């Protein structure tokens, strides 16, 4: 038995019943889930994913709406640029792939905002291909079980992809199953703090356990603070714009935060990121809600 075999056996018994893992989930549904799950817990993503897929079951459905609607539907998931990226992906798929999510990895990676992880995740989980899919959870499992280290580095490297690829079975469908199994292990059992080692299928062979479960050297990574940050102010500004029925004057936005400098910086950042459009100097709308320029005027 290999680590992959053990992981698959564990996964078959313990996997969470998530909607984007159902057999009838489309590649678009997988892509939406992967983008939403970046830096957002499953409990918050699941209802948002269901609402999104009900409204926009295909890329063409989303592409037909302005990006402002994607930002509104994103709600309070956080990091709303992800909504813009999904909209840009949908438009690109309509233009390049007849409204379909491509199965070719290079074509996936060429889509707006699709990086190393997301492209491989869609190719693997939606199309059953054999690719190393490496996120924080997977890197932690491999680091502990194979390398005997308490954790991996902060970012995915080429070496991480190689290490994961070496653990995958040769048969593509089984390799895809192993990929999601390693990820689930990292999310539920081999967690960053207080891992549940007695529940882990790797407990008897885990190099980290054999080494005495050494603690991470150096300072631990602290959760990112939210209260009082520009992220919080950006969220408050977007909340006003999402619920507005027309252009919003600056005076109304001024009421969401007392610190004039921080509020102005947050608003400027939203404009720079393309989430908000200024209409003149002191009026704002969500991206895509501004007046349309007729083609003959271009």
Confirm if 110 and 156 have CB atoms less than 8 A apart: no
- Between CA 72 and CA 242 the distance in angstroms is 5
**Cα torsion angle, 254, 259, 261, 266, sign:** negative
Confirm if 234 and 257 have CB atoms less than 8 A apart: no
Q: What is the DSSP letter of 283?
A: E
Confirm if 123 and 129 have CB atoms less than 8 A apart: yes
Q: What's the Rg (C-alpha) of the chain?
A: 22
Please say if 34 is a catalytic residue.
yes
Residue tagged active-site, from 34, 69, 184, 277: 34
Residue of 27, 100, 30 whose CA lies nearest to 61: 100
- Between CA 82 and CA 75 the distance in angstroms is 12
Q: Percentage helix, strand, coil, to 5, in the chain?
A: 55, 5, 40
**Cα torsion angle, 156, 158, 162, 163, sign:** negative
Q: Just list the catalytic residues.
A: 34
């Amino acid at each position: 038995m290999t680590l992959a075999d053990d992981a698959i056996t564990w996964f078959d018994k313990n996997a969470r019943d998530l909607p984007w893992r159902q057999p009838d989930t489309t590649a678009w549904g997988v892509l939406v889930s992967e983008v939403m799950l970046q830096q957002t817990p499953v409990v918050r993503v699941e209802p948002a994913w269901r609402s999104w897929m009900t409204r926009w079951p295909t890329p063409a459905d989303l592409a037909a709406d302005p990006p402002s609607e994607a930002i509104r539907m994103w709600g309070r998931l956080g990091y709303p640029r992800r909504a813009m990226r999904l909209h840009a992906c949908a438009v690109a798929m309509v233009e390049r792939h007849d409204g379909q999510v491509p199965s070719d990895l290079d074509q996936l990676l060429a889509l707006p905002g699709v990086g190393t992880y997301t492209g491989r995740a869609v190719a693997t989980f939606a199309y059953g291909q054999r690719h190393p899919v490496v996120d924080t959870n997977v890197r932690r499992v491999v680091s502990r079980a194979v390398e005997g280290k308490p954790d991996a580095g902060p970012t995915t490297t080429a070496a991480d992809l190689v290490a994961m690829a070496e653990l995958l079975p040769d048969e593509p469908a089984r390799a895809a199953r192993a990929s999601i199994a390693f990820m689930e292990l990292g999310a539920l059992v081999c967690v960053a703090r207080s891992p549940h080692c007695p529940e882990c299928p790797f407990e008897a062979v885990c190099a980290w356990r054999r080494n005495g479960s050494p603690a991470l050297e150096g300072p631990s990574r602290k959760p990112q603070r939210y209260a009082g940050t520009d992220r919080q102010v950006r969220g408050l500004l977007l909340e006003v714009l999402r619920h507005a029925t027309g252009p919003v004057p600056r005076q109304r936005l001024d009421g969401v935060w007392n610190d004039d400098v921080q509020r102005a910086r947050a608003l400027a950042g939203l404009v720079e990121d393309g989430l908000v459009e200024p209409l003149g100097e002191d009026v704002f709308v969500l991206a895509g809600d501004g007046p349309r320029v007729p083609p003959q005027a271009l």
